[in-house]
Structure 1
């Protein structure tokens, strides 16, 4: 294991919940990545974590989506089972932009269900998604 400079620690990111109480997730790990949640559940989840926080440090919240990126960048996006996001790059960008505004900090993207070549998906992400989601 690499040595860290004195005064620095290795960040701890909790992935999933493992039956941990939300107050533990709000205070112990440096960040929490959950499986997907409903689009109307992000703001309440972030608020709950902030309300339970006792250490005064920022603990970012993120989640994972399986993403099916369609050929048409204007195709509307739909969220299935709180984890499977399907749509065009522009609508997915708007979806994640809204989620960011509600407190989402990280998204793990799994392109497993996408039938398009990964190079095309990454080009659409670079052209449509990243600029929209990351603008201030």
Structure 2
């Protein structure tokens, strides 16, 4: 693993994540910051380019060995993996309790990362693959409606496990799936 290569213990990864996020936030948010850490020293230098808008949003992936309360307080959103819908609904409800409702101050998005292997058969039912589904486009639309109804704000699709050419999959999604989920649409009135 990479931890021994850097002289770190694997069981310290939660603490290392918090420290690294703090250093990155400082380096991005301050001009010529003074940072002294076990990772090194930043003195008389600056990290460029700086964000053109207030700051770079941070979406915590999974739990990064942190509590959901810590993620809600320190992240700008939560990116979680694909789980069975009932489990994901529980994650989303907890997230909403901790970050307020959509449109209210403090609201932070819940994002889901999903591996997709889009079948050539548009009618193929969903079957699980690692952190996602092999599925036809019609069942994909059903899954996406379920995720949207559950409160997923953004869906990030990973094609790493795709058995079809990606350009072909993107063309099919653009023609048959994406138009059903217009950007900025109110899911309640959709």
TM range (shorter): 0.7 to 0.9
Contact 1:93 1:128 in 2 (8 A): no
Which fold has the larger relative contact order, with Cα–Cα distance below 8 Å and residues 6 or more apart in sequence?
1
2:49 is matched with which residue? 2
1:15 is matched with which residue? 61
Contact 1:93 1:130 in 2 (8 A): no
In the alignment, structure 1 residue 96 sits paired with structure 2 residue 157: no
Q: Tell me, what secondary structure is at the counterpart of 2:156?
A: strand
> What TM-score do the two structures reach when normalised by structure 1?
0.85
- Rounded to whole Å, the distance in 2 between the matches of 1:41 and 1:133 is 23
Structure 2 unaligned runs (5+)? Answer: 1-47
Shift of 1:22: 0.7
1:39 is matched with which residue? 85
- Rounded to whole Å, the distance in 2 between the matches of 1:28 and 1:117 is 38
CA RMSD of aligned residues (A): 2.2
Which of 75, 85, 92 is equivalent to 2:124? 75
Select the structure of larger CA radius of gyration.
Answer: 2
Which of 161, 164, 177 is equivalent to 1:116? 164
Q: Deviations over 1:84-118 (max 9, x none)?
A: 21111121122012101110012221112222111
**In the comparison of the two structures, how many residue pairs are matched?**
134
In the alignment, structure 1 residue 52 sits paired with structure 2 residue 101: no
- Rounded to whole Å, the distance in 2 between the matches of 1:34 and 1:113 is 18
- Rounded to whole Å, the distance in 1 between the matches of 2:143 and 2:63 is 24
> What TM-score do the two structures reach when normalised by structure 2?
0.63
Contact 1:64 1:107 in 2 (8 A): yes
Shift of 1:48: 0.5
Contact 1:69 1:89 in 2 (8 A): yes
2:70 is matched with which residue? 24
Higher helix share: 2
